[in-house]
Structure 1
């Protein structure tokens, strides 16, 4: 009761109402910033990983380099069917499919673009969730065997639509007595996909596996085998079985290794941001100290009277401890509400900011994905709440102890 009266007392009555509100607002904004940052951090990583796993192999198998009949160093997989079956039989593997991978030039109506062509069987293409998405894709993916599937970015650069005929030009074509002549073939664009990643949509084209073998002079061989697992985050449990199935002739590259530098950079950035925002919360809770010190100074006479009529040091300490922690709790609750609302409604908020700024706030060519994601996780909210309440409690102890140890004689000497 005493703590509540002190908190809502006006300045003319010896209270610190203004300082109390400043403390509440500061803590609320700090907690809001911490939760919003943690949500965006988690959302960005989840979206980035999802775009990787939704359109790429979880593990890629390569053949170790060997010398072919002509004395050239080769990495082509000649027994790809047998190897695929062995890899597919490993516990935890969902699919193992051979691929052809090559670089060509795509041309349409005078426009050219360098693209990466992946030769893949139709059934395996249908298993890629980011590619086979009816909501974002255009055309008929079931007609994939009749043409090619193209990324939306490539289609936009070339001005291509579904049904258009695109020329693919490969510099490694037919060998003649006068040298190697480029190979040029025309294919119908039967499907246009959006993988959610700018770099994939801007460069990738899928071609039927058999056609890719013929076009790139890979008859009877594959360049690699892509492996999809049940738990891409838990590859450590699957890799021993894959190594056993591959034997001494195989090598593997996991999605974590391929994107390891970026994921490590994200982790370092996450840790730095958490430390900086924790300092922001600490600075916000320091306002509680200022408010309580002023409150103790203004309430010196009251403390002396309370101690004279029998209130113990512990009781006085609890009065001012409740004052400080109440400010921390109220600010934390407000910050949690604001942070959760920001994470939930980030799309309309970001759209409004983008509209006010005239567009161009989020450049997918730099950040890789097309929008700012946010993933609200319980553990992030709990972390922010625990940090704020812990700092509020620790900071409050010092001015509360000062009030409890005040000598009642000295407090009432001049009254």
Structure 2
């Protein structure tokens, strides 16, 4: 009794590959194959490039948040005093509280901070800025601020003046060594009321945190000077807390509240930016669905090409069936025709997508040159450049989606070929 060849035998691959090769008599089939292959490649490349850019944007956005801001902040609620007057919430024993918080498991450091808003002026230019009063050691511990590669000046000179963002320096036309004036509406008490406080400070350090909104609005001032300037003698406004795993910052909320005592509140980095991150996650899902539809449309060309191939190969199918090929073998031959197209197109798409992700900076520079500048506006997007981050999971799901769709769409024309009656196929031959 003759043995039945096992499924996907070598001869099935050879027949499928032969059918895919270009022949002048079947130019239409060859053209459809190339259209299908290019369509799948472009769809996969677009999907990988989009996922890489979205992942890079999110990673850069989060890194700029965590690299220039506290992971969470402990502060006191305002207090009601006599006659309905509200006193601002301040922390008097800030050194002891900071030491207590720093001793919590998982907390890397805790820093007392004085905060206030001012108007900053230089000659005829002015801007609004937020001042952070902290110690030199605390400033040096902020990664995005203490970055000699992009900063100007020596951070060790911080106690001799103030540190300002590069955006403020650019808008005010300020360089190292220049003196700028800070104007606070909450100044000294006089018989005529509260007068604005105006002090001049030397710019000893200019930093670039990588976020547009931080670089153009933030100023760092020595803690003791900030306490004097904002009328916060011997108190701090808040304790900035940094932890080992910022992604799990919510795990520290309860321990921090217990350590800070009554009236304390906690504000995490997720509270300030969580809505934007959730919007990014939703946008990622929507973009994946949209591009998945694009890949599906590209793979539908495989169906069109296979239908034409089955029609042109009707005589061959009849001969193969009379020679003993089973319906399953014929179906597998044409399934492999579509699978080859999907696999080759997917591989080409992965290569194109990876190359795009690795060279996205050069591509954006070219686009910016073509458009005459302004293709990437940091004032809208927050960060200064379009980043890309290749992740194994993104590559896997892009490849899996393309291959799955490529295999599924080949089933219908392959079944049609398998069910073709050999007698009908050879009747007019």
Q: Which of 380, 390, 408 in structure 2 is aligned with 1:366?
A: 380
Q: Does 1:347 align with 2:349?
A: no
Aligned-partner Cα distance in 2 for 1:362–1:350: 8
User: What are the residue-to-residue correspondences of 1:309-388 with 2, within 5 Å?
Assistant: 309-388=323-402
Q: Does 1:25 align with 2:28?
A: no
Q: Which of 409, 412, 417 in structure 2 is aligned with 1:398?
A: 412
Partner of 1:169: 183
Partner of 2:55: 42
Aligned-partner Cα distance in 2 for 1:13–1:332: 24
Partner of 2:67: 54
Residue by residue over 1:363-391, the C-alpha shift from the partner in whole angstroms, topping out at 9 and shown as x without a partner, is 11111110001001111111100000000
Contact 1:125–1:132 (8 Å) recurs in 2:
yes
Aligned-partner Cα distance in 1 for 2:82–2:150: 46
Contact 1:364–1:371 (8 Å) recurs in 2:
yes
Contact 2:162–2:219 (8 Å) recurs in 1:
yes
Aligned-partner Cα distance in 1 for 2:356–2:98: 46
SS in structure 2 of the partner of residue 248 of structure 1: coil
Aligned-partner Cα distance in 2 for 1:408–1:355: 61
Partner of 1:213: 227
Partner of 1:264: 278
Partner of 1:227: 241
SS in structure 2 of the partner of residue 172 of structure 1: coil
Partner of 1:297: 311
Partner of 1:178: 192
Deviation at 1:76, TM superposition (A): 1.0
User: Number of residue pairs matched?
Assistant: 415
Aligned-partner Cα distance in 1 for 2:185–2:241: 29
Aligned-partner Cα distance in 2 for 1:169–1:15: 76
Distance 1:90 1:69, change over 3 A: farther
Aligned-partner Cα distance in 2 for 1:380–1:327: 22
Give the aligned CA root-mean-square deviation in angstroms: 1.3
Partner of 2:144: 130
Deviation at 1:287, TM superposition (A): 0.3
Partner of 1:197: 211
Q: Does 1:273 align with 2:258?
A: no
User: What is the TM-score normalised by the length of structure 2?
Assistant: 0.95
Moved over 4 A (4+): 68-71
Deviation at 1:15, TM superposition (A): 6.8
Aligned-partner Cα distance in 2 for 1:139–1:14: 68
Residue by residue over 1:145-170, the C-alpha shift from the partner in whole angstroms, topping out at 9 and shown as x without a partner, is 11000000001111100011111111
Distance 1:147 1:117, change over 3 A: same
Residue by residue over 1:86-140, the C-alpha shift from the partner in whole angstroms, topping out at 9 and shown as x without a partner, is 1111111011111111111111122111111110111011000000000010011
Aligned-partner Cα distance in 2 for 1:239–1:175: 38
Partner of 1:156: 170
Deviation at 1:226, TM superposition (A): 0.5
Residue by residue over 1:185-217, the C-alpha shift from the partner in whole angstroms, topping out at 9 and shown as x without a partner, is 111100000000000011000000110000010
Partner of 1:89: 103
Partner of 2:18: 5
Q: Which of 107, 122, 126 in structure 2 is aligned with 1:112?
A: 126
Deviation at 1:240, TM superposition (A): 3.2
Aligned-partner Cα distance in 2 for 1:260–1:40: 20
Deviation at 1:14, TM superposition (A): 7.4
